[in-house]
Amino acid sequence: MRRLILGFLLCWVGFSFLAEVKKAVASYDARQRTWETPAFWRLGMPQPDRLELCLAGVRERVPAGSFVVFASPSGAQGAEFYRWRWAAYLLPEHHVIPPSHRQAGSLAQYFVTYDVRVENPRIEPMWRRPGCRLYRVRQP
Q: Do 101 and 82 belong together in one domain?
A: yes
How does pLDDT run along the chain (140 residues), one tens digit per residue? 888 898 888 999 998 998 888 877 776 665 555 566 788 888 888 889 999 999 999 999 999 999 999 999 987 778 899 999 999 999 999 999 999 999 998 999 999 999 998 888 999 999 999 999 999 999 87
Q: Do 11 and 42 belong together in one domain?
A: no
Partners of 36 in the β-ladder: none
Q: Do 26 and 46 belong together in one domain?
A: no
Write down the pLDDT at residue 112.
Answer: 97
Q: Do 15 and 62 belong together in one domain?
A: no
Q: Do 55 and 92 belong together in one domain?
A: yes
Q: Do 24 and 66 belong together in one domain?
A: no
Write down the pLDDT at residue 25.
Answer: 73
Write down the pLDDT at residue 103.
Answer: 94
Selection from 118, 98, 117 nearest residue 107 by Cα: 98
Q: Do 24 and 86 belong together in one domain?
A: no
| Composition of the chain by helix, strand, coil, percent to 5 | 45, 20, 35
Q: Do 8 and 53 belong together in one domain?
A: no
Domain count, the chain: 2
pTM of the predicted model as reported, rounded to 2 decimal places: 0.73
Q: Do 44 and 63 belong together in one domain?
A: yes
Partners of 97 in the β-ladder: 69
Selection from 63, 71, 67, 72 nearest residue 106 by Cα: 67
3-state secondary structure of 57: helix
Q: Do 9 and 62 belong together in one domain?
A: no
Q: Is the dihedral of CA 45, 22, 27, 42 positive or negative?
A: negative
Q: Do 96 and 132 belong together in one domain?
A: yes
| Cα separation, 140 vs 106, whole angstroms | 9
| Cα separation, 35 vs 38, whole angstroms | 7
3-state secondary structure of 125: strand
3-state secondary structure of 107: helix
Q: Do 78 and 22 belong together in one domain?
A: no
| Cα separation, 8 vs 106, whole angstroms | 71
Domain coverage including residue 116: 38-137
